[in-house]
Amino acid sequence: MKRALVAAYLRRHGGRYGAGILLLLATNALALSIPWMLKQAVEAIGRHEPMAIVTAWSAAILVVAALGAAVRTGSRLLVLGTARLVSYDLRRRLFSALLALPPSWYDRARTGDLMSRAVNDIQLVRSLFGPGVMNIVNTAAAYVGSVAIMAWIDPRLTLVSLIPYPFVFLAMNRLTRALYHRSNAAQEQLAALSSRAQENLAGMQQVKAFVREDAEIVEFAALAAEYRLRNLALARIRGGMVPLMGLIGGVGTLAVLWLGGRHVATGQMTLGDFVAFNAYLAGLAWPTLAMGWILNVYQRGMSGMERIGEILEAADRGVPEGVSPGSEPGRPGPPSLEFRHITFRYDASGAPALADVSFTVPAGTTVGIVGPVGSGKSTLLSLVAGLYPPPPGALFLNGRDLLAIPADEVRAQVGLVPQESFLFSRTIAENIAFGKAEASREAIERAADLAELSQDRADFPDGYDSVVGERGITLSGGQRQRTALARALLLDPPLLLLDDTLSAVDARVEAAILANMRTILRGRTCLIAASRMSAVSGADRVIVLDGGRIVESGPPAELAAAGGLYARLNRRQQLEDEMEKA
């Protein structure tokens, strides 16, 4: 995946890279001409030619150097600018892939790890496509050009000067393998460190409530220490590359000084040739040193591309949302639902969250779903909302298999209020209008009224224009739930899914919302999962789950009189309400 991605971007931006490489070659050609002009100036001095000739060669060197600087700037703008285009496109693709992945994928993902890939790994990829490509071309051009001219000046001396370089390449080959593994290990540890930091920041209230500050500091310090050790291991390899190549290159320089000096003394080489030869050899010093840096950038960039490619590949393997060839548009009006022997597991090896669940929901009716904690209520609603794929042929919307309907078409009919209401760090009005940004202020306030949020409006500093904290932390649990309910009601969905929406509101507010239900549920199909029996008292039918299986089904009044699980749960709530009043 990583090599295919690199090749794809190189092809896509081939024109810009081609122009940049041509300018890089021109830059190197100009740089290679300077030692040759220096040779002419030295030989002019040796021949005691007029000072004007030496001055002319000196001026020519200045002109070529200035021209080289201008061309080099153009090449850098093209190559480094293209690298920024690559990182922009890759960042956009990564974000799109993250949005396309199903919720089940996020059950196993860590937020800090994803943030590390989106920030650090993309930065490494940008270094690969920018400075990496630029220095690869510069190094190759410098070696080819310099060695060719050195061989033309003195083949034997060139051979002697290049004797150490096979040892350089051999050493680099061995170091590169270790470099890749240690670079990848450092990036993985950085992801773990980021995940821990993100978890602590998101759960700061729990950390402080349980007096876990010191323990969390110790655990974070352990992760940071491991990250330090992995980076030191990486740095030892990177730091060893430069001295190693400098040492080997220095041996070659000493050999050239010894043998080249003899050639000059015996007249086999002019002083100008000797000066130019050493200038070309010195010009290979930086490309040789840069080789280690290039290999480091290459390995770290490819490691980053691999980690990013894992997410892109996961998104490609998934079923594209919103695309279903040959599907028919959904019918207007409230839909019907049919569950046919649904058995669903979150983990293939785990116990089923739902087991052989079958029932129908006629269009325009309200069905309550109750049961103990962990009985499968939220799972059932998540399947209907398309957050998790149901088994084939097990869940039907208006008589059509839910798997055959594009995800965007399903979600266009669904208004989901999840059990844990998530709010963005925006205004209350913006959170209500999240699914319908073009909604008018009147529509937003009407939805807030139906959700009984208007009674708290005076408590908000700027009314509905008050900005809530991250995840809605500045609001109470009941206010967050009512804001989420208003968000779903604003969509006016034909299918409404309420997952324990009233669990955090007090009895008075619950009664007011239940009174509004006659207006809310008019002309729509509704599934209400609830832990409080009062929330489903007005339902046409109630499904009672226990251990993922249906144990009771029927109208609320009949179930209350039957003496089963529903009656026990209902009696328990009545006792809790009486105790609360007392």
Domains of the chain: which residue ranges?
2-316, 337-581
Fold of 2-316: ABC transporter transmembrane region fold (1.20.1560)
Find out whether 432 and 445 touch, Cβ atoms under 8 Å.
no
Cα-Cα-Cα-Cα torsion 32, 33, 39, 42, nearest 10 degrees, comes to -120
What is the model's pLDDT at position 367?
Answer: 93
Query: d(Cα 202, Cα 198) in Å, to the nearest integer?
Result: 6
pLDDT classification of 319: cutoffs 50, 70, 90: very low
Find out whether 376 and 354 touch, Cβ atoms under 8 Å.
yes
What is the model's pLDDT at position 582?
Answer: 62
Find out whether 255 and 163 touch, Cβ atoms under 8 Å.
yes
pLDDT classification of 338: cutoffs 50, 70, 90: very high
Is pLDDT above 60 for 260? yes
Task: Dihedral sign for Cα 425, 430, 431, 434, please.
Answer: negative
Find out whether 387 and 363 touch, Cβ atoms under 8 Å.
no
CB atoms within 10 A of CB 512: 13
Token reading at 426: 């925006």
* Max avg pLDDT among 108-117, 256-265, 438-447: 438-447
What is the model's pLDDT at position 332?
Answer: 58
Is pLDDT above 50 for 98? yes
What is the model's pLDDT at position 325?
Answer: 37
Rounded mean pLDDT of 264-269?
79
Cα-Cα-Cα-Cα torsion 469, 471, 476, 481, nearest 10 degrees, comes to 140
Is pLDDT above 60 for 17? yes
What is the model's pLDDT at position 330?
Answer: 44
Burial class (CB in 10 A: 0-12, 13-18, 19+), 467: middle
Residue 303 or 363, more confident: 363
What is the model's pLDDT at position 58?
Answer: 86
pLDDT classification of 408: cutoffs 50, 70, 90: confident
Measuring CA to CA, which residue among 57, 59, 23, 27 is closest to residue 42? 57
What is the model's pLDDT at position 246?
Answer: 64
pLDDT classification of 544: cutoffs 50, 70, 90: very high
Ramachandran angles phi, psi of 529, nearest 5°: -90, 130
With tokens 């993309």, the residue in question is 122
Is pLDDT above 90 for 380? yes
List the single range of 101-115, 193-207, 240-254, 353-367 with lowest mean pLDDT: 240-254
What is the per-residue burial (b if ≥16 Cβ within 10 Å, else e) of 24-63? Answer: bbbbbebbbbbbebbbbbbbbeeeeeeeeeeeebeeebee
Rounded mean pLDDT of 15-19?
90
Beta bridge partners of 549: 546
Question: CA 412 → CA 34, 72, 77, 78, 488, distances in Å?
Answer: 69, 54, 46, 44, 11
Specify whether domain 337-581 bears CATH 2.60.40.1120: no
Find out whether 414 and 385 touch, Cβ atoms under 8 Å.
yes
Rounded mean pLDDT of 158-162?
81
CB atoms within 10 A of CB 258: 10
What is the model's pLDDT at position 209?
Answer: 67
Find out whether 424 and 505 touch, Cβ atoms under 8 Å.
no
Burial class (CB in 10 A: 0-12, 13-18, 19+), 391: middle
Residue 558 or 291, more confident: 558
Helices (H), 266-338: 271-283, 285-317
pLDDT tens-digit series, residues 20-53:
999 999 998 998 888 888 888 888 887 778 888 8
- The 3-class secondary structure across 391-425, one letter per residue, is CCCCEEECCEEHHHCCHHHHHHHEEEECCCCCCCC
What is the model's pLDDT at position 545?
Answer: 93
Is pLDDT above 50 for 498? yes
**Within 13 A of 427's CA, how many CA atoms are on the CB side?**
13
What is the model's pLDDT at position 324?
Answer: 40
What is the pLDDT of the chain when averaged over all its residues? 83
What is the model's pLDDT at position 253?
Answer: 72
